[in-house]
Structure 1
Amino acid sequence: MHIDLRRLGLAGGLVAGSLSAAQAQQPATFPRNGVYDQRPGVYAFTHATIFTDYKTRLQDATLLIRDGKVEAVGPNVKIPAGAVVQDLKGRFIYPGFVDLYASYGVPEVKAPERQGRRAGPQMESTKAGAYDWNQAVHPEVNAAELFRVNADQADVYRRLGFGAVLTHQPDGIARGTAALVSLNTTRRESEVLLQDRAAATFSFDKGSSTQDYPSSLMGSIALLRQSYLDADWNQRNPTREQNLSLRALNQQRGLPAIFEVRDKLSALRADKLGDEFGVQYIIKSRGDEYQRVNDLKATKAPLILTLNFPDAYQVDDVYDAARVSLQELKHWEMAPANAALLAKAGVPFAFSAADLKDKKKFLPNLRKAVQYGLSEEQALQALTATPAALVNVQDRVGALRPGMEANFLVCSGRLLADDNVLLDNWVQGERYQLSTIPADYRGVYSLQVGSQPEMKLLLAGKPESPELKIAKAPGDTVKGSLSVNGELATLVFNPSPKTKGSGAIRLSGYYTAEGRTFQGDGQLPDATNVKWSARRLEEASRAARRDSVKAPVPPQLGQVQYPFVAYGRTEVPTQQTVLIKNTTVWTSEAAGKLENTDVLLQNGKITKIGRNLSVPSGGRSIDGTGKHLTPGIIDEHSHIAIAEGVNEGTQSVTSEVRISDVVDPEDVDVYRDLAGGVVAAQLLHGSANPIGGQSALIKLRWGMTPEQMKIAGAPGFIKFALGENVKQSNWGEANVVRFPQTRMGTEQVFVDAFTRAKEYEQEWKAWNKLSKAKQKKGEAPRRDLELEALVEILNRQRFITCHSYVQSEINMLMGVSDRMGFPVNTFTHILEGYKVADKMKQRNINASTFSDWWAYKNEVRDAIPYNAGIMHDVGLNVALNSDDAEMSRRLNQEAAKMVKYSHLSEEEALKMVTINPAKMLHLDRNMGSIREGKDADVVLWTDNPLSVYARAERTFVDGREMFSLENDQQLRQQMQQERLRIVQKMLEAKKGGAATQLPTAKPTKHYHCDTLGEEKELDQ
């Protein structure tokens, strides 16, 4: 026997808590208090359009579910006796959505409040138990153990169409395991838990941890890298240390791994880290992936996309508009196209409601993504099949096949149609009513008001709030209002709104569904009572409806530029064949200065130098008459292009951290340096600790990725530091915990670190000498990235650049290097270098200094502007550096000061920013001078490069013209035009009712040696 819902009066809406609650089953292992009421829970949904998965559509089909599972689906399903039947003719059924990034039902973790500035640093973990040394690493956290059903939170997700979510505790770097749970709230946790330990979760954010380390992005990356190595060691040597965190990390190796990042560049960083350990992360991103589509595609990482599109900025005020960056303007315009661009490139992704403060925006933003080019099939795939497959639960959710969870949506129409209404969300066979279908009055009507001429009435828009327009004659249309309360309707409109003194016609009556007619009584502006009626014109209504369902034209968007900031280009400049003719060439070689000379750049190299050279076929000629060509400037000490922290000053030795992990190719200072003739730089860790992090040597390849900016095959460098910063003299009275606190302690840090490094090296040498048979029986040493970097220094594979000021400390480090057997490559700053130049000469140590900085702290009270010249005269290799984003683009003028203070020749002065730093960085084989065979890194100046009037007219890096005055003007014009175009678009969006936000100023952050974190800065 079939049970028809209509006969039971339930066709309008069966809700959880009525029939569903009555038949809810207890888990099999739970005792029952009272009589057993075991009902079969069989439902048949007939005559529906059913999507069994994102691409399979069945017309006039039946879905049969039993006990919360799909039993059958298709056009010819036999309905068993006792089934509850619901006729869904004209309705659509879709698989329930799956969200892979939620914290549903899991308690939020909040960082405990620190006791103000007097609390001091927390060097060690305060978490009790046999866990990891760092509080931010807690892979042992299991969301399934923390999860509790939460009706309010579940309701929010269900109203968006979700039937299951992957929930976890979003806190820390190694966050633990996530659990897949259904959004059924009538069952116990043990029944809604679909998959325990469904995925491992990670991020670069240490979250609630109050432990100081890590304090930077590079520190977070280093910590996770070392944690993976420690987990490997722990697995090989289980008796050495019972570490529950490392054990948990090992147990997660076979699980899908989800990594949350802040932006597309950190997505690349996370993937690179995963590649080191054979982990293919699923990247939970932030919506800017379209800016690096091809690079992200190359990672082969699936993405979890949010639909958190930025609101338009309030740009009515020209001053407010000026505060909005070009990047923000373009992101507002292009963010909705993110999914479409990724889909076009073939990048797999799933959608999530994460990051939306107002979750109600999810479906409207999903429709917006479709409007911007994503197909409905791709959207449905990203909501169902893809998330299910990414966590290996495609046999349970994400589709409607026999045996799968009965998670599905009942819709009034096509899922992403503007007028679609989500009616019911069935989760594990339990019905949750979301809404009812509003009466649909939309259409074209013939309106007759009393004896007035017939008018056309148009009702359009959404069913629940249709817009009213009255057409008295072609081209003569006025707006009105319609309100319906039950069967009663009221229409109000002014037939002559532009006529002074005209009034509104008010019509009241009722709607007859059978005849699709409004009728009743009304009153004209002159108080004349009239009868009125509005009869629906079916053919005209159908025609209007056909027009309304036409696919909207995707919005016209600007182009992605590289990098996606000011001065970005739609394409990165390519290598060219360029002949620079008849110019003065400063070679920085023994050849000196060559007048009226030609230089040919080809395939990224300097191929010919001479006179009367010819332009090869397809090449380009530049007239250098009256101009000067120099090698590109190299900044030996820079802190530009570093993301999220230049110092990991939380421990006295952090040689495991790497600036190369956090190169930021979108720092506008890269472009500004190019405008100053700079072609390469050493990106140094700061000076917050005696042994800091590893350097990155980059070329200023503006527009390229972080990896492409690094100089291939460059030697390794590392930052050491002496003086006030490392002993925390200026850090405040709370910072008296971290060793060292004195200059004597600083010396001991070096001795201790290299003593440990030597022991570490010997331990590995002894291990490597063992036979393979003995190695299998023994315990391999633990890899320690901190000590490995120091071993590289001992073996001349990594070179020291040491922050220094005072003679006594410089002598101290030279003494330690002699005793411990490691070389110092460069003393940087070294403002008292003139006092120890002879000793540095004996050890072949380079000097990289300022031209004339003094009196900015106690340590520089003996600084003199003749320092560089004195060291040069002693025979040291001397360079001038910036340590400052502003000074970096004026290093040619810093070099010019050496002519004044030290009486150097102009050529020797220029060498201090070209070939000398190249020698310091062991790059002089390919860079630093103009010689055939070297890299085509050259600058064409408008005047003598040491003149204050000289401007870098063209800067070439690897034969690419990365900057020119001419192109700079074009970029400025293009930027201005692009700004104005998008501002006008924003004004139109606001006029159309779009949400807006106030602009906020975001000042550029410039790092120096002593910058801590993103905000706090010490004295230089």
Structure 2
Amino acid sequence: MKKQFLKAGMLGLLIAGFLSHTAWAQSDPTGKRRVTSTYAITNATIFAAPGQQGTKGTVLFRDGVILGMGSNLSLPKDAQVIPGDSLFIYPGFIDGAGNMGITKPKDLERPKDLITSNPPDEIAGITPWRSATEQFSITGNQVDDWRKTGFTVTQVLPDGGMLPGKSSIMVLGNSGSVNVLQENAALAANFRGSRGMYPATLAGVMAKFRDVYQNTTLALDHSKMYASTAGVKRPELTPTQMGMASVVQKQIPVIFTASSDLEVRRAIALQKELGFKLILTGLENYESVIDLIKTSGTPVLIKLQVPDDKAIKSQKSEGITEDTKAQYERVKEAYDKALKQASLLEKAGIPFGFSTVDTKPGDAMKAVQTLIKNGLSEKAALAALTTNPASILGINRVAGTIEKGKMANFVISTDSIFKEDAQIKHVVADGYVFNYELKKKAAKEAEKTENGSAAVSVEGIWEYTSETPAGSSGGEISIKKEGTGYSGTISYDDPSGSGKVTAPIKNAVVSGKTLTFEFDVAAGGMNLTVSISGEISGSSMEGTMSVAQFGSFPLTAKLSSPSLTL
């Protein structure tokens, strides 16, 4: 039996060696549990920070911390290898002032004797003592959908009224881990008043914010006097004042949601008047206040979305009056200006991040691509997803770039991240690896090289050999063109030692000179997906055969029969 397993080559090695009952029970390709605490993503193109050129190399990390990166890393024996051939690695995306995974607290019952002109703070939505951690759940589909989009860290704001509580910064890693990077990172505030009671208006919200801030200042001064002077009445800080204290003491900022230019002006006016640290979030219409934002030095988080273009698409081209035509032009002009706002922030030298609030995960990268088409540079777009929010949120020591000692948070894509056909294959968050299924590329794109000429010919029978620690093994790969795609089979040594078996290939793609495909292996009640990636030169192919959980092995092949008829 031992000889049979050795003869089975790579697949036999995986089954007989790596895939023992214990090892398989510990593995989980969804990222919920680690097979090992040490990983190496090899031979990938690494973009360590915005503006840096991509370099070929390996990223090594253990227990969620980057141990090193480069082309000559020595890998420890326990490292689980993730083949990065033809893949691109970027720092994990960071969401500022988001609400993914946040649940709304229950509304409090209004007391019968409620005085609407002076309601209790909690009834009026003034709860600065609350923490978003209490409302956050990492197990919902919303968090997983955003992780699939490349987000690995989020600053979540609590749901509630004008002062709903304090934000928390969470890493989107294992659901069984403690995912809090920083609790009580900022006080959330907005201009949303209370229905049917004070403060119900925008002016009332501003007045109430001043009142809470100034009363907290007086209460803290009283506390200092009580601590140093005999005979002073004992201070009694309310929950609101205790929750506001860290803002008054400038330990944390206020993160104010301000969607319009008017709200931006009022938030900055409050900051100048009272002196607290300020971050603006939820920005939608801000072109007219860009100079104000710059001179005030206020960090900003803009919504990761573009305006709806339904009004543009519904415009008629015939049978309209001159007035209607002029109205159409004004609508189009306003729409175009909105798309260019982010590029104006870049031109003004204002670092900004993105907030995922009110955005669907599936629309996020489309929005970034639209902003790039309207003047935003790719460098600024990547910075808005990584280094800028890391600095704004105060976590740039551990996140935002790929560097030794920082958190192992990565986005791993099939192409440059801002290309329309790029797909995210893996996301690493807190050192946990999440694998995602790739969609088939359009046949026209898959069969074109960079200069637009036809891709290499792959049809025929390829005789391949793979090299593993257990020795050499091989078989045949049969490929033929079928419609706009490819189909075929691959033979390999049966892991049970009973000769050759054949499996159909799937997801076959020819891109330039590279052939990639997958096939499934069933053994001992277990299902494995094996990936092959090879670069073709004439009638030869060199590449790797890999299983994501267990590493990759060299593979070579020769085209023995170019004209195949199946």
Tell me whether the two structures share a fold, i.e. TM-score over 0.5: yes
Are residues 241 and 332 of structure 1, via their aligned partners in 2, closer, same or farther at CA, if it must alter by over 3 Å? same
Contact kept in structure 1, 2:139 and 2:175, CA below 8 Å: no
Residue 8 (structure 1) shift: 4.5
1:354 alignment counterpart: 357
1:235 alignment counterpart: 220
Residue 235 (structure 1) shift: 0.7
Give matches, 1:923-934, under 5 Å: none
**2:173 aligned to which of 184, 190, 203:** 184
Residue 384 (structure 1) shift: 0.6
2:500 alignment counterpart: none
SS at match of 1:237: helix
Are residues 322 and 514 of structure 1, via their aligned partners in 2, closer, same or farther at CA, if it must alter by over 3 Å? closer
2:516 alignment counterpart: none
Residue 175 (structure 1) shift: 2.4
> Which residue identity lines up with residue 385 of structure 2 in the other structure?
L
Contact kept in structure 1, 2:100 and 2:142, CA below 8 Å: yes
Are residues 264 and 16 of structure 1, via their aligned partners in 2, closer, same or farther at CA, if it must alter by over 3 Å? farther
2:251 alignment counterpart: 254
Are residues 419 and 257 of structure 1, via their aligned partners in 2, closer, same or farther at CA, if it must alter by over 3 Å? same
Contact kept in structure 1, 2:219 and 2:241, CA below 8 Å: yes
Q: Does 1:81 align with 2:77?
A: yes
Cα distance in 2 between the residues matched to 1:254 and 1:353: 25
Are residues 142 and 408 of structure 1, via their aligned partners in 2, closer, same or farther at CA, if it must alter by over 3 Å? same
Cα distance in 1 between the residues matched to 2:320 and 2:176: 56
1:220 alignment counterpart: 205
Normalised by the length of structure 2, the TM-score is 0.68
Give matches, 1:291-310, under 5 Å: 291-310=288-307
Are residues 324 and 60 of structure 1, via their aligned partners in 2, closer, same or farther at CA, if it must alter by over 3 Å? same
Q: Does 1:97 align with 2:93?
A: yes
Contact kept in structure 1, 2:486 and 2:508, CA below 8 Å: no
Cα distance in 2 between the residues matched to 1:210 and 1:420: 46
Larger radius of gyration: 1
> Which residue identity lines up with residue 270 of structure 1 in the other structure?
A
Are residues 421 and 263 of structure 1, via their aligned partners in 2, closer, same or farther at CA, if it must alter by over 3 Å? same
**2:117 aligned to which of 123, 127, 130:** 123
> Which residue identity lines up with residue 338 of structure 1 in the other structure?
Q
Contact kept in structure 1, 2:94 and 2:151, CA below 8 Å: yes
> Which residue identity lines up with residue 197 of structure 1 in the other structure?
N
Number of aligned positions between the proteins: 436
Are residues 315 and 325 of structure 1, via their aligned partners in 2, closer, same or farther at CA, if it must alter by over 3 Å? closer
Q: Deviations over 1:175-231 (max 9, x none)?
A: 22111111124323xx2111111222111113xx45511121111111111111011
Cα distance in 2 between the residues matched to 1:6 and 1:362: 42
SS at match of 2:175: coil
Q: Does 1:193 align with 2:202?
A: no
1:835 alignment counterpart: none
Are residues 61 and 232 of structure 1, via their aligned partners in 2, closer, same or farther at CA, if it must alter by over 3 Å? same
Q: Deviations over 1:952-997 (max 9, x none)?
A: xxxxxxxxxxxxxxxxxxxxxxxxxxxxxxxxxxxxxxxxxxxxxx
> Which residue identity lines up with residue 24 of structure 1 in the other structure?
R
SS at match of 2:251: coil
Cα distance in 2 between the residues matched to 1:63 and 1:378: 24
1:315 alignment counterpart: 315
Cα distance in 2 between the residues matched to 1:5 and 1:57: 37
Cα distance in 2 between the residues matched to 1:377 and 1:515: 26
Cα distance in 2 between the residues matched to 1:512 and 1:153: 31
1:582 alignment counterpart: none
Q: Does 1:281 align with 2:278?
A: yes
Q: RMSD in angstroms over aligned alpha carbons?
A: 4.0
SS at match of 2:187: strand
Cα distance in 2 between the residues matched to 1:146 and 1:332: 36
1:271 alignment counterpart: 268
Q: Which structure has more strand as a fraction of its residues?
A: 2
Residue 459 (structure 1) shift: 9.3
Cα distance in 1 between the residues matched to 2:392 and 2:29: 31
2:138 alignment counterpart: 149
Contact kept in structure 1, 2:485 and 2:508, CA below 8 Å: no
Are residues 326 and 277 of structure 1, via their aligned partners in 2, closer, same or farther at CA, if it must alter by over 3 Å? farther
1:998 alignment counterpart: none
Cα distance in 2 between the residues matched to 1:5 and 1:384: 39
1:388 alignment counterpart: 390
Give matches, 1:556-571, under 5 Å: none
2:399 alignment counterpart: 397
Q: Does 1:334 align with 2:323?
A: no
Give matches, 1:619-698, under 5 Å: none
Cα distance in 2 between the residues matched to 1:93 and 1:403: 17
Cα distance in 1 between the residues matched to 2:25 and 2:399: 20
Are residues 169 and 324 of structure 1, via their aligned partners in 2, closer, same or farther at CA, if it must alter by over 3 Å? farther
2:416 alignment counterpart: 414
Q: Does 1:68 align with 2:64?
A: yes
Give matches, 1:454-473, under 5 Å: none
SS at match of 1:228: helix
Q: Deviations over 1:562-612 (max 9, x none)?
A: xxxxxxxxxxxxxxxxxxxxxxxxxxxxxxxxxxxxxxxxxxxxxxxxxxx
2:562 alignment counterpart: none
> Which residue identity lines up with residue 246 of structure 1 in the other structure?
Q
Give matches, 1:464-613, under 5 Å: 484=484, 487=487
2:462 alignment counterpart: none
Are residues 240 and 23 of structure 1, via their aligned partners in 2, closer, same or farther at CA, if it must alter by over 3 Å? closer
1:783 alignment counterpart: none
Unmatched 5+ residue regions in structure 2? 1-9, 19-23, 224-233, 456-481, 489-506, 514-536, 538-566
> Which residue identity lines up with residue 125 of structure 1 in the other structure?
P
> Which residue identity lines up with residue 250 of structure 1 in the other structure?
A
Residue 92 (structure 1) shift: 0.7
**1:370 aligned to which of 360, 369, 372:** 372
> Which residue identity lines up with residue 64 of structure 1 in the other structure?
L
Are residues 86 and 182 of structure 1, via their aligned partners in 2, closer, same or farther at CA, if it must alter by over 3 Å? same
Are residues 22 and 362 of structure 1, via their aligned partners in 2, closer, same or farther at CA, if it must alter by over 3 Å? closer
Residue 232 (structure 1) shift: 0.2
Cα distance in 2 between the residues matched to 1:193 and 1:139: 19
Cα distance in 1 between the residues matched to 2:160 and 2:509: 58
1:758 alignment counterpart: none
Give matches, 1:939-1018, under 5 Å: none
Contact kept in structure 2, 1:98 and 1:398, CA below 8 Å: yes
Normalised by the length of structure 1, the TM-score is 0.39
Residue 338 (structure 1) shift: 1.2
Cα distance in 1 between the residues matched to 2:28 and 2:419: 31
Residue 307 (structure 1) shift: 2.9
Q: Deviations over 1:299-341 (max 9, x none)?
A: 2111101132222212228499589687644332221211111
> Which residue identity lines up with residue 400 of structure 1 in the other structure?
I
Q: Deviations over 1:268-326 (max 9, x none)?
A: 11011011121231111332212332232222111101132222212228499589687
Cα distance in 1 between the residues matched to 2:26 and 2:128: 38
Q: Deviations over 1:82-103 (max 9, x none)?
A: 2111221221100100001212
Cα distance in 2 between the residues matched to 1:24 and 1:444: 34
1:172 alignment counterpart: 161
Contact kept in structure 2, 1:173 and 1:202, CA below 8 Å: yes
> Which residue identity lines up with residue 181 of structure 2 in the other structure?
L
Cα distance in 2 between the residues matched to 1:375 and 1:233: 47
Residue 61 (structure 1) shift: 1.2
Are residues 349 and 300 of structure 1, via their aligned partners in 2, closer, same or farther at CA, if it must alter by over 3 Å? same
> Which residue identity lines up with residue 63 of structure 2 in the other structure?
D
Cα distance in 1 between the residues matched to 2:75 and 2:510: 33
Residue 486 (structure 1) shift: 6.0
Are residues 22 and 196 of structure 1, via their aligned partners in 2, closer, same or farther at CA, if it must alter by over 3 Å? closer
Are residues 108 and 68 of structure 1, via their aligned partners in 2, closer, same or farther at CA, if it must alter by over 3 Å? same
Are residues 367 and 459 of structure 1, via their aligned partners in 2, closer, same or farther at CA, if it must alter by over 3 Å? farther
Q: Deviations over 1:6-38 (max 9, x none)?
A: 97599xxxx99943679838xxxxxxxxxxxxx
SS at match of 1:194: strand
Contact kept in structure 1, 2:40 and 2:58, CA below 8 Å: yes
Higher-RCO chain (CA-CA 8 Å, sequence separation at least 6): 2
Are residues 440 and 133 of structure 1, via their aligned partners in 2, closer, same or farther at CA, if it must alter by over 3 Å? closer
Cα distance in 2 between the residues matched to 1:16 and 1:382: 40
